[in-house]
Amino acid sequence: SLSIGIVGLPNVGKSTLFNALTKNDALAANYPFATIEPNVGVVGVPDTRLDTLAGIFGSAKIIPATVTFVDIAGIVRGASEGEGLGNKFLANIRETDAICQVIREFEDPDVTHVDGEIDASRDIETINTELILADLQTLEKALPRLSKEARTNAKDKERKQVLEAAEAASQVLNEGKPLSSGGPAAGIELAHLRELNLLTVKPFIYVFNLDTDELADEALRAKLSELVAPAEAIFLDAKIEAELAELDDDEAAELLESLGQTESGLAQLARVGFATLGLQTYLTAGPKEARAWTIDKGATAPEAAGVIHTDFQRGFIKAETVSFDDLVGAGSMQAAKAAGKVRMEGKEYVMNDGDVVEFRFNV
Ligand code: GDP
């Protein structure tokens, strides 16, 4: 499942946001979540398609796709040098798929800003610098080992590639650039760096924590979007997110609408996270459960089956497939079949988001 690490300076609203995302009372009834550790929360992604499917199939349970959020203590300037303390915090997000930076835009005289006044551009720079320094530290530690491995396994082409990628990565980082931007540009094969769990290889998503009355300020949003482009920007008010988490679906929709918003922070983060990482969901449904499964865009039917169980992939025969819209249009699986909307897809079939699937397989 998609995992997102939350970073940012202290007092920008990270904990407020994390708590809102992971302690959602309204969702809890239908969407299970679990707090694995105090700073790790698994959250069901709101998906109205599942409610519709559960209605059509009489499903007893809904199991949504999930996003795992990992919160770390605030990063301050110099965190990467701080006797390994900063780096220990950063270790919590080494395994995540993407890094979400929370940036403070809200003004509040009662909440001090660690660097004085509000300045998104400076704060982003501070955080990026610490992430870059942390990666440089990791590389400094790893390089002697990597070059020894490359030397002693001279025939092992892969060890040589890892070493070369690590050396190239050091250069990019030394120029003050994160690897996600500078890496591909500098011709580094990022896949070779995977074993090092570097932070700036991961895509960044920027969350701006705004004052409530700034939420609908298009000019401000455009300015901040531009600041982080081509990365994605999300705009929310962490305090509103905390309120949304206490409301039921209808009340939450009403509150959002009154603020000129259409999506909660969780929905935005899930949508942007899935898009940034090239993920999509397909659906299965029956009397037991209606369920969303996370797969890569471009995944084939057997690969999609493998997410349910490796046996499904190995013994894959066919995927009985109908698009969500066609199924809903027909009203039932039987009607969709009668209308010729249900296809038998084979091994080469490339999945679409919202495919409703039943796999046929040999065990
Ligand atoms: P963290 O240090 O980044 O985890 O920040 P916290 O979530 O603990 O928030 C720090 C303080 O800012 C708390 O008093 C929050 O209530 C407050 N705060 C968080 N988000 C907002 C916001 O959107 N608007 C305002 N006015 N205050 C906020």
Secondary structure string (H, E, C) spanning 129-162: HHHHHHHHHHHHHHHHHHHHHHHHCCCCHHHHHH
Token pair of 48 as six digits: 């109205």
Say whether pLDDT at 183 is over 60: no
In this structure, are residues 130 and 77 in contact, taking their beta carbons and an 8 Å threshold? yes
pTM of the model: 0.87
Nearest Cα residue to atom 9 of ligand 1: 13
Residue 96 pLDDT > 70? yes
Nearest 5°: CA angle at 58, between 56 and 62?
Answer: 95
Return d(Cα 281, Cα 308) in angstroms, integer: 12
Question: What band does 109 get if pLDDT is binned at 50, 70 and 90?
Answer: confident
Q: Is 0.95 exceeded by the ipTM?
A: yes
Task: Establish how many alpha carbons lie within 13 A of residue 240's alpha carbon, considering only the half-sphere containing its beta carbon.
Answer: 26
Residue 15 labeled ligand binder: yes
Q: If phi over 0 gives left and psi between -120 and 50 gives alpha, with beta otherwise, what is residue 13?
A: left
Centre of ligand 1 to C-alpha 221, Å, is 20
Q: Which domains does the chain have, with CATH numbers?
A: 298-361 (3.10.20.30)
- Averaged pLDDT score across all residues of the chain: 88
pLDDT at residue 27 in the model? 45
**Taking 70 as the threshold, does the pLDDT of residue 38 lie above it?**
no
**Cα-to-centroid distance, 97 and ligand 1 (Å):** 25
Give 313 Cα–ligand 1 centroid separation in angstroms: 46
The SS3 call for residue 283 is: strand
